Amino acid sequence: MVNFDLICGSKSAKSVSLSFRIPYYTQWGHSLLVCGSHPLLGSWNVKKGFLLSPHHQGDELIWHGNIGVPHGFGCEYSYYVVDDYKNVVRWEAGKRRKLTLPEGLQDGEIVELHDLWQTGSDGLPFRSAFKDVIFRKTWSLNIERPLGVIQSKLDEKDAVIVHFKICCPNVEEETSQIYVIGSSMKLGKWKVQDGLKLKYAGESIWEADCLMRREDFPIKYKYSKYGKAGNFSLEIGPNRELLVDFSASQPSQPQYIILSDGMMREMPWRGAGVAIPMFSVRSEADLGAGEFLDLKLLVDWAAESGFHLVQLLPINDTSVHKMWWDSYPYSSLSVFALHPLYLRVQALSASIPEEIKLEIQRAKEQLDGKDVDYEATMAAKFSIAKKIFDLERDSILNSSSFHEFFSENEDWLKPYAAFCFLRDFFETSDHSQWGRFSVYSKDKLEKLVSKESIHYDIICFHYYIQFHLHLQLAEAAEYARMKGVVLKGDLPIGVDRNSVDTWVSPNLFRMNTSTGAPPDYFDKNGQNWGFPTYNWEEMSKDNYAWWRARLTQMAKYFSAYRIDHILGFFRIWELPEHAMTGLVGKFRPSIPLSQEELEREGIWDFDRLSRPYIRQEFLQEKFGASWTVMASNFLNEFQKQRYEFKDECNTEKKIDSKLKSCLEKSLLLEGEDNIRRNLFDLLQNIVLIRDPEDARKFYPRFNLEDTSSFQDLDDHSKNVLRRLYYDYYFHRQESLWRENALKTLPVLLNSSDMLACGEDLGLIPSCVHPVMQELGLIGLRIQRMPSEPGLEFGIPSQYPYMTVCAPSCHDCSTLRAWWEEDEERRCRYFKTIVGSDRSPPCQCVPEITYFILQRHVEAPSMWAIFPLQDLLALKEEYTARPAAEETINDPTNPKHYWRYRVHVTLESLLNDKELKTTIKDLVRGSGRSYPRSEEVKNQMGGEKGAAPARQQISNGQDKISSTTQLTGLPKKDTVAVV
């Protein structure tokens, strides 16, 4: 809030001139407009907003405009880019600006606002990851009133009161003073001790007023931090400048200039983190899988290794099938409930009977295997938890803490508990099989969960489990915050078809469709995740309340999150519900090819193009001598040597069912997988996909040129369809997809103050990165999946700042496995990235791992986040396990068992000072931030046997030297962050 509280006693003004001024480059046909809460600025109706005019000033395009306002005028306002019809093209990010004019203004006086466009990234320091964790203050700043200016100075001729205003969120106790210094005597002539000291005004804003005379202009200045010990740091970048024209040709000079100078320009903050699924963590206390309370140990290890972040996969309940299929963490049973897999049963009560303690110990020993035994672990935890629940049911359910939890969560907790009961009662999560409970209603729910219900005890057990999961995760989350470590969650793009959410709100989903991804790096045949797509139109009616509730719930535990498949908020790859693979889909939303459009181009045989093109010779090629058997079971000959699928097997799911039936009757001799793949190839041999809801609309099949259906067309048809294909996938949708993302993503971002990162891998439309940049969303860069065309391997040193960089992720093989998979690729990498013509080692030895990790940690990316498996590869003793066993997911297998467990306990890692030192040296040597409390602890001797900071850096240099000898690269000095 700008409020000078300057002078009093002057005569009241009838009208004051308010002048807006902001530099911003626009495209042709676009203009800048200011809109605000006051009727003079449109009352937040952009169509009635105040249009600004452009003029060039040096290299800048300045938008400006003057408007008469009454004395005492105040409002909130924001800037918008609009087209010629005042339709909003984009708007600035961040909070609305607040303005209150200074008191005592004279009639006709001018107040000039010098603003800067607020970008999405400007707001990142105010996200909880920074505000509440990394920049968390254990001390307080006192809010002071901005400096006043006395009455007499206003009467001076050719003088201007300049109000300096800067945002500086990262202020440490020892440097808690902000100054502005510059060329004017009032600004100290560049001497910080003589500069203008700013006052803290709250919300990380520092302000001060200064009377400037004609001879002071033009002013060059910068902001600086000044420490109590005399040390100071000046902001980076060129000098800021303020020019006021006092010449006779400019008779109307401003009396007040409000300089909203945005963010203090400091070196971009960079940090590092570790990524590991919750279930993969191993500790001495866990039972069969990693547990929420293990996060405290993981946070300790992360902080001592120099990491500011711990990243997890989704942790919501996925217990749809009550078998190992539920190990897939992205198929939520409920987007609000936590997964019972992560419950620590020992922490359920302080007075567990001895026989139950013995049962827990036996279960721990039985389930301490190489991998997660999902079903056995879930069974053991539920069995033990039920026994403890029976002992303390009343004391817990009557406690004030439980009542508080229940009242805050009952909107989702009641339906979740009821769903779990009905799933178990009917032995299926398919709620269409639940008789009178198939259709959800609040009345039925309330009867089912009422205290008078005979099933109330079972319902309460599910409440009890969720209550303790909440307590345990909240405890770990608070511990991470206190340690300066960001806990980063994962927001799945979909929910299971048979979930609480689709039962309670089926109108929010397109239940006859399935979500997936087109062919990409992960799978050349595309992916079919099985989730129903979203009904965005229905969701928009309550301003996406379901999404807002999801993010609010996540923010209780996490201070950052990953948006899974962020491309789905621009457009989603939609498949029919009867599909099993991900190849024959279409984007939603998208502009289809109309029948009229195709006919104008000379395309007319739509049945030929949209139905499977099957000739007898194709059958002979695929099935050899048994082609007649295949044809008789699955196909009809509708023309000579031309075939079509029978009605009972004309979809992928029907083929799969018929194939199983034939195999049971021993009608087929070949292997099931091979037959299925060949039949699917025939079914997918189309060029156009006809819209099931409008037969006159078509979508080009992905990679249509690879089909024999396309190859058998005449040259004219090929050329037309090839051109329309590239138009559909790479041109005509861009504006639509941008508009779609700008409807949904801001709602997510504004639903919480968590830091948001988007997983933007795959087939990326050109509109994606500009929108992410506009909204302040952090992208993802994986070196083996470069987003730049023509590159086989990404170049970390060229990554944009607003990214997370990583050598691998959960959806691909680990660094070690990737290195060993492909010899030719390994040699290309060694030559291209390492710069050596030598033959690379066949295994990813620690020196290679160090080299690759060092390139990532030195990248400009805001975050460098490493899978724990890749970090363990820094030390030979942790590489005894076969590399392929460390892979978390195989995206080509929809029934993959997610069960990887780290083969070393967190306690052992905490005791491994050598590994922690090596990793911390990498982080510090790159100039990245690290949790300082641990550094202070080390310097004070709090960690016995730890090497001094100087020696730790030396050890890092030794590692770099060994890599240099291996690769022939010159040494590169590292610099410690102090």
- How do residues 910-939 score in pLDDT, each as one tens digit? 999 999 999 999 999 999 999 986 443 443
Q: Residue 344: in which H helix or E strand, if any?
A: none
507 has a pLDDT exceeding 90: yes
868 has a pLDDT exceeding 70: yes
What's the pTM value of the predicted model, to 2 decimals? 0.90
pLDDT at 156: 72
Mean model confidence pLDDT for the chain: 90
Contact of 119 with 93, CB cutoff 8 Å: yes
Pick 384 or 935 by higher pLDDT.
384
pLDDT at 290: 98
Most confident range, picked from 117-126, 208-217, 476-485:
476-485
pLDDT confidence bin for 631, thresholds 50/70/90: very high
pLDDT at 249: 64
Cα-only R_g, the chain: 32
Q: Is 917 left (phi over 0), alpha (psi -120 to 50) or beta?
A: alpha
pLDDT at 949: 30
Amino acid residing at 118: Q
Burial of 382 (0-12, 13-18, 19+ CB in 10 A): middle
Q: Is 703 left (phi over 0), alpha (psi -120 to 50) or beta?
A: left
The closest alpha carbon to 179, from 168, 169, 91, 42, belongs to: 168
pLDDT at 669: 61
pLDDT digits (tens, 9 = 90+) for 769-821: 999 999 999 999 999 999 888 899 999 999 999 999 999 999 999 999 999 99
589 has a pLDDT exceeding 70: yes
Q: Name beta bridge partners: 88.
A: 82
pLDDT at 437: 97
pLDDT confidence bin for 846, thresholds 50/70/90: very high
pLDDT digits (tens, 9 = 90+) for 473-484: 999 999 999 999
951 has a pLDDT exceeding 60: no
pLDDT at 69: 95
The C-alpha atoms of residue 280 and residue 726 are separated, in whole angstroms, by: 42
pLDDT at 149: 36
pLDDT confidence bin for 281, thresholds 50/70/90: very high
pLDDT at 26: 93
Query: How far from the centroid of its chain's Cα atoms is residue 765's Cα?
Result: 17
Average pLDDT over residues 116-126: 93
pLDDT confidence bin for 154, thresholds 50/70/90: low
pLDDT digits (tens, 9 = 90+) for 695-745: 999 999 999 999 999 999 999 999 999 999 999 999 999 999 999 999 999
pLDDT at 82: 96
The C-alpha atoms of residue 514 and residue 526 are separated, in whole angstroms, by: 13
pLDDT at 667: 67
The C-alpha atoms of residue 771 and residue 747 are separated, in whole angstroms, by: 14
Contact of 919 with 874, CB cutoff 8 Å: yes
Burial 278-288 (b: 16+ CB within 10 A, else e): bbbbbbeebbb
Amino acid residing at 301: W
Amino acid residing at 945: G
The C-alpha atoms of residue 793 and residue 784 are separated, in whole angstroms, by: 5
pLDDT at 531: 95
pLDDT at 428: 98
The C-alpha atoms of residue 509 and residue 335 are separated, in whole angstroms, by: 14
pLDDT confidence bin for 10, thresholds 50/70/90: very low
231 has a pLDDT exceeding 90: no
280 has a pLDDT exceeding 60: yes
pLDDT at 917: 97
975 has a pLDDT exceeding 60: no
pLDDT digits (tens, 9 = 90+) for 884-896: 999 999 988 888 9
4 has a pLDDT exceeding 80: no
971 has a pLDDT exceeding 90: no
pLDDT digits (tens, 9 = 90+) for 54-93: 999 888 999 999 999 998 899 999 999 999 999 998 999 9
Average pLDDT over residues 609-627: 95
Percent of the chain with pLDDT over 70: 92
pLDDT at 119: 92
Q: Name beta bridge partners: 574.
A: 515, 586
pLDDT confidence bin for 150, thresholds 50/70/90: very low
pLDDT at 155: 60
Strand pairing category for 159-167 and 205-213: antiparallel
DSSP string over 564-628: TTGGGGT-EEEEETT--SSSS-EEES---EEHHHHHHTT---HHHHHS--EEHHHHHHHHGGGHH
Range of weakest confidence among 147-161, 663-677, 733-747: 147-161
pLDDT confidence bin for 948, thresholds 50/70/90: very low
pLDDT at 523: 78
Average pLDDT over residues 234-239: 95
pLDDT at 132: 95
Residue 459 contacts by C-beta under 8 Å, 6 or more apart in sequence?
Answer: 417, 418, 421, 448, 449, 453
The closest alpha carbon to 874, from 828, 785, 807, 944, belongs to: 807
960 has a pLDDT exceeding 90: no
Average pLDDT over residues 552-570: 97
The C-alpha atoms of residue 138 and residue 796 are separated, in whole angstroms, by: 35
pLDDT at 668: 66
pLDDT at 519: 87
Range of weakest confidence among 89-93, 156-160, 336-340, 963-967: 963-967
Amino acid residing at 863: W
Average pLDDT over residues 146-156: 45
